[in-house]
Amino acid sequence: QVQLVESGGGVVQPGRSLRLSCAASGFPFSTHGVHWVRQAPGKGLEWVAVISSDGNKKYYADSVKGRFTISRDDSRNTLYLQMHSLGAEDTAVYYCARDGRAGPGLLYLFDYWGQGTLVTVSS
Amino acid sequence: IVMTQSPATLSVSPGERATLSCRASQGITTNLAWYQQKPGQAPRLLIYSASTRATGIPARFSGSGSGTKFTLTISSLQPEDFAVYYCQQYNFWPPGPFGQGTKVEIK
């Protein structure tokens, strides 16, 4: 079965960096785009970033553009999110989610989700 | 584009029918999904293309609508269905936004 397992969250000081990972299994990782979606405590869901199945297309929400970088390593079946210049507004549970379209292109539909990893930005 | 869900909270007794609404500020044809999220858990895809149930989703969940008005119906609420439900459009970029959610609670 499809599994996505996030790691790398924790408490980080404002202005610092953090890298999140998402280990995928149960499907051919290289055939799907993969997203990061976050949820601030007690709030709704916010899409953060996506990388296409071939890794050539990367798109970001305006709120993180220029600070966050999404990448993937298909040899390790792993998705990453490198986060810089973190602020209190980045405090959230970060989920990785599989795009619902196999192959080229992105559907921006999230058909499988990991359990999330909590990032807390605090001094 | 703005997605507006109503009501914010829905109090329903087990076995009763629940009807949740989602409205888009612009037409999105049928590019709408519904997700269920229980406390402390990740969201789960329930419905896509406005009316297609995702893999493993029970038949008591149904979706309808197109354009700007959408509905999620749970025909007979089970104890495990009490959760927050989000709608999400995927017709326009950027993806999302998600609605603010409807909490279905036990009456």
A115 touches chain B (CB under 8 A): yes
CA distances from A12 to A15, A45, A70, A89, A117 (A): 9, 21, 19, 12, 13
CA distances from B1 to A47, A102, A106, B25 (A): 14, 26, 19, 6
Give the pLDDT band of residue B101 (cuts 50, 70, 90): very high
Whether B86 sits inside 8 A of A95 (CB atoms) is no
pLDDT at res. B63: 98
Q: Testing the interface with A: which of B98, B100, B102, B103 to mutate, by most A Cβ within 10 A? A: B98
Whether A61 sits inside 8 A of B42 (CB atoms) is no
Work out the average pLDDT over A106-123.
Answer: 96
User: What span, in angstroms and rounded, lies between the C-alpha atoms of A48 and A14?
Assistant: 19
Work out the average pLDDT over B26-31.
Answer: 96
Whether A110 sits inside 8 A of B93 (CB atoms) is no
Q: Percent of chain B, pLDDT > 70? A: 100
Residue B74 pLDDT > 90, yes or no?
Answer: yes
Whether B93 sits inside 8 A of A108 (CB atoms) is yes
Per the rule left: phi > 0, alpha: psi between -120 and 50, beta: everything else, A42 is left
Considering only CA atoms, which of A121, A123, A102, A122 is closest in space to residue A111?
A102
pLDDT at res. A83: 98
Q: Which of A61, A95, A111 sits opposite B42 (nearest CB)?
A: A95
- Chain B residues whose CB is inside 8 A of the A50 CB are 95
Q: Three-state SS for A45? A: strand
- Environment class of residue B56 by beta-carbon count within 10 Å: exposed (0-12), middle (13-18) or buried (19+)? exposed
Whether B35 sits inside 8 A of A110 (CB atoms) is yes
Express each pLDDT in A5-49 by its tens digit: 999 999 999 999 999 999 999 999 999 999 999 999 999 999 999
Work out the average pLDDT over B78-99.
Answer: 90
Express each pLDDT in A63-97 by its tens digit: 999 999 999 999 999 999 999 999 999 999 999 99
* Structure tokens that stand for A69 in this block: 């970088």
Contact A113, A1 (CB under 8 A): no
A82 phi, psi to nearest 5 deg = -90, 125
Q: Three-state SS for B22? A: strand
Least confident of A26-35, A112-121, B4-13, B95-104: B95-104
